[in-house]
Structure 1
Amino acid sequence: MGELATGAPAVALLGVLGLLVGSFLNVVIHRLPKMMERQWAAECAELQGKANETETPTARYNLVVPRSACPHCGHVIHWYENIPVLSYLALRGRCSQCHAGIGLRYPTVEVATGLLFAWVGWRWGFTFTGLAWCGFAAAVVALACIDWDTTLLPDDITLPLLWAGIVAAALGLTSTRLPEAVWGAVGGYLSLWLIYWGFKLLTGKEGMGYGDFKLFAAFGAWFGWPALVPIILMASVIGAVIGIGIKLVGRLREGGYVPFGPFLALGGLTAMVFGPAAILAAVGL
């Protein structure tokens, strides 16, 4: 549908686009939680009647401004220091001014997004369907990293992702029929909601957050309700393997809590790449 390029050109074009989008996702992953914190602080101040008190105005902070800078020395990053992957390699993973280390997360997100976009180009070509799945992949990568860092799954991403899945189904951009997408969203949300409350009633603890419900609902919208079981199964397997590995190396965070969102995200990406049926076949179901 709406083919702009296929084959190797589509893979190359979307692969490069993925690298660029991955660079932007690094900004989203870092800044969006901070933007949410600022918004919460402003809302709390307003509720406490402190919004009109004389305070030093805070500088604008969003996904565009201020320009990216080294967190150690404040050096503003020039465009040629921000070329995906290549700049990291040229700088040898260090700031050009203070030589502080740059986290490996940055090129990893860029490469991962580039590979996912390239795969989409191979599978669907540079088409409207391909672009829709590129958007899906970018949103899921951002959500996985944000949840891992902060245990938050922002509504600013999960809810548009959910609605985008329903709209994509309505426009025929996915193989999911609209009724399957709608019931997939309903089933995805309610299934984890019921598990959450069942676990809380039995243990008095919260096993997951509401963001997980919304993310699973989004997957239901994109893949349809029949895909919910294989996705949650894959997420659980990935979570168990990684969780055990983290525990063995003694790197569990305080409280021993590991967010479920990143594993759910990996389950969704696995379903995109291999298909829900292949997941069931891989585990003998």
Structure 2
Amino acid sequence: MSPLVWMDPALAGLVGLLFGSFLNVVIYRLPKMLEAGWQQECAQYLAEQTGQATPASTKPAPAFNLMTPRSRCQACGHTLHWYENVPVVSYLVLRGRCSACQTRISPRYPLVELITAGLFAFCVHRWGLTPQAALWCGFSATLLALALIDWDTTLLPDNLTLPLLWAGLIGALQGWTGVGLEASLWGAVGGYLSLWSIYWAFKLLTGKEGMGYGDFKLYAALGAWFGWQALVPIILMSSVIGALVGIAMKVFSQLRPGGYIPFGPFLAGAGFSALIWGAGPLQAGLLGLFGL
């Protein structure tokens, strides 16, 4: 096979490394931005209800968004220079430690960069330099960010789930996802309503909430991307992944207080499985696994 065949995927992988570095920022900052916004809204609402003016801050809060401030060490506040922010390379050169305080840097940062690079390379290898590949790269990056945000915070932000849902519907309309618009639309409807129904049945029976509304939206988004036919294999695969991870966490005593594990990362894992192997082969493999 000619080396030129791998040139486009390799370039896509390099772009994926850079995008993965940005994803690390999104994963860390987006939940904090949302929490700050919610706190401000609550303060304004409380002031309106009590008839009191919102206390004026003598010093405006520093800007905090996806671009500002520059990346820094979370332990000592050291602002990273550009050469300390090169994807993967900087982590290896620094030996996984902050150059100022020598605090260990989580290996998840380079792993996110490498995984994003691999996903981008896979999409371009499969679809070439086409709109389809760009769309699936966006799908992969968004799904990865959602999985890690949910794992860290148990949040699945509408800022990501809803654009992912609409992108799947638009991709189906343009013929870029390999799923017809009708199958995509019913996949979104079926994905949302199925988990919504399970949520309310569980709550009525136990008085507890078994999942969040973000799970409904994420499942709806996956239905939009892969069609209604993929809903069963996706939920089966997410259950298998969740069971394996839950057992492993219990064995190594890593379960969180109350034994709660967010479901979003497992839905995302099933989404990646459908992306790589296809919903049809995934379903056949799962049915064979369960002897059906």
Q: Which amino acid aligns with 1:78?
A: H
Aligned position for 2:166: 163
> 1:58-112 CA distances to partner (integer Å, 9 max, x unpaired)?
1111000011100111111111111111110010000011111100110111111
Tell me how far apart the structure 1 counterparts of residues 212 and 54 of structure 2 sit (CA, whole Å): 33
Of 174, 187, 195, the residue aligned with 2:198 is: 195
Question: 1: CA distance between counterparts of 2:41 and 2:143?
Answer: 28
Contact 1:7–1:125 (8 Å) recurs in 2:
no
* CA distance, structure 1, for counterparts of residue 197 and residue 56 of structure 2: 46
What is the CA deviation profile of residues 232-260 of structure 1, one whole-angstrom value per residue up to 9, with x for unaligned ones?
11000000000011011111111110000
Corresponding residue number in structure 2 for 1:37: 35
Segment of structure 1 superposing worse, 216-225 or 46-55? 46-55
1:20-74 Cα deviation digits (max 9, x unpaired): 1110000000000000010000000100116632223211110000111001111
Q: 1:205 offset after TM fit, Å?
A: 1.2
Q: TM-score, normalised by structure 2?
A: 0.94
CA pair 218-51 structure 1, distance change in 2 beyond 3 A: farther
| Structure with bigger RCO (C-alpha 8 Å, 6+ apart) | 1
Indicate the SS of the match to 2:198: helix
| Greater alpha carbon shift after TM alignment, 148-157 vs 168-177 | 168-177
CA distance in 1, matches of 2:188, 2:169: 8
Give the direction of change, closer, same or farther, for the CA distance of 1:114–1:46 in structure 2 (3 Å limit): same
Letter in 2 for 1:29: I
Aligned AA for 1:23?
S
**Alpha-carbon spacing, 1:170–1:111, altered in 2? closer, same or farther (3 Å):** same
Report the alpha carbon displacement of residue 203 of structure 1 after superposing the two structures with TM.
1.5
Aligned residues: 280
Q: Structure 1: where are the runs of 5+ without partners?
A: 1-5
Gaps of 5+ in 2: none
Partner residue in 1 for 2:234: 231
> Displaced runs of 4+ in structure 1, greater than 6 A?
none
Which AA in structure 2 matches 1:54?
A
Does structure 1 residue 21 correspond to structure 2 residue 19? yes
Relative to 1, partners in 2 of residues 1:272 and 1:89: Cα closer, same or farther, differing over 3 Å?
same
| Greater Cα shift, 41-50 or 86-95 | 41-50
Cα distance in 2, alignment partners of residues 181 and 279 from structure 1: 18
* C-alpha separation in 2, matches of 1:17 and 1:141: 16
Secondary structure of 1:174 counterpart: coil
Q: Letter of the aligned partner of 1:193 in structure 2?
A: W
With over 3 angstroms needed to count, the CA separation of the structure-2 counterparts of 1:194 and 1:70, relative to structure 1, is: same
1:253 aligned partner: 256
**CA spacing shift, 1:223–1:98, aligned 2, 3 Å:** same
| Equivalent residue in structure 1 for 2:46, among 41, 45, 48 | 48
Report Cα offsets for 1:106-142 as digits up to 9, x if no partner.
0111111111111111111121100000000000000
| Letter aligned with residue 255 of structure 1 | G
Identity of aligned residues (%): 60
Is contact 1:7–1:121 with CA below 8 Å preserved after alignment? no
